[in-house]
Amino acid sequence: MLVGIVLAYYNPNEKLFLEQLGSILNQTYQSWRLVISVDEDRNNFLRLNKKVQVLLHDPRVSIVINKGPRGFVQNFNHGSLALLKEDGIEAFVFCDQDDEWFPEKLCTQVEELKKKPRESLVFFDAVCRGAQEKELLGSLWLLEKRNVDNRDTESVLMRNVVSGAGAIFDRALAEDFLPIPDWVKFHDHYFAVCATTKGGIYPVDKPLYYYNQHSCNVVGGGNFKGVFNLSGQSFKRLRDKYEYLSKWKKRLGIKDNAIRNILRFDLLIHDPALYRSHLGYFIGKYFA
């Protein structure tokens, strides 16, 4: 199975980028193609750094340059479309520019995807690593209290449990749902929701990469702070989230059960992060 890897590039931390690129080249599974989709390279790092030039000499690696910054979602979209033009690509993997893959990552992902139905997405855990001397913070799923058992379309829409860097999906899903629409805010959430309407999404409770946390993360993981902790969620932000998710629901034909969902008190125990999302949606709809 030939795997297409999309790395979204935007003025990265140079040290972390080199570690990430090296971890891709050192995979035990070697049947892959890598597209580096460049949104901006302010310091010409890709062109001028000698270590990068050595790594990029691999014929499996190619670079596509965007016409002006597109943002990270359309950056991933641009790279994915470039790979989709290659007939031999059978699976797609997203890659952040500042993580570090375990050597067995691609091999494990491919073996799990082979077991799943057509148009499926398989996703894995990560080990969070802090900025201070690469302190290991533990499982990303545990830190965020991700309950990966709730995988119906509405639950995944309301609370994304899939990190793009930990996911793999087949070509059929890519062909059905590329390009990513301009209004979509998160590429991994988009493919996770789409996959729930097709072959399904499948968690594997195994970390396959280091997720590096630092001050320049575009979207960062973090500790779950409680069901009723809406700090940083202004009424405007809650209203914007409601409007975004309600647009999704209309497109998917999902009935808006905002009141019923906040009465699902079982979620307070079994999936507090999902309940928090329903609560924010309810407040955004009726009070923001």
Give the class (CATH, top level) of 2-212: alpha beta
* Confidence band, pLDDT 50/70/90 cuts, at residue 217: very low
Provide the percentage of residues in the chain whose pLDDT is more than 70.
95
Q: Which residues contact 6 (CB under 8 A, 6 or more apart)?
A: 35, 37, 76, 79, 80, 83, 92, 93, 94, 95
59-87 pLDDT per residue, tens: 999 999 988 778 999 999 999 999 999 98
pTM (global) more than 0.75: yes
As a whole number, mean pLDDT of residues 6-33 equals 95
How far is the C-alpha of 143 from the C-alpha of 126, rounded, in Å? 10
Q: Is 249 helix (H, G, I), strand (E, B) or coil?
A: helix
Q: What is the pLDDT of residue 131?
A: 76
- Domain coordinates in residue numbering, the chain: 2-212, 235-286
Q: What is the pLDDT of residue 146?
A: 92
Across 167-173, average pLDDT: 98
Mean pLDDT within 177-202: 98
Give the residue-averaged pLDDT of 183-206: 98
Residue range 155-171: average pLDDT? 97
Quick check: 222 pLDDT over 70? no
**Is pLDDT above 60 for 53?**
yes
Question: What is the overall mean pLDDT for the chain?
Answer: 93
pLDDT attached to residue 67: 83
Cis ω for the linkage preceding 179 (within 30 of 0): yes
Whether 281 contacts 242, CB under 8 Å: yes
What tokens does 124 get? 């894995």
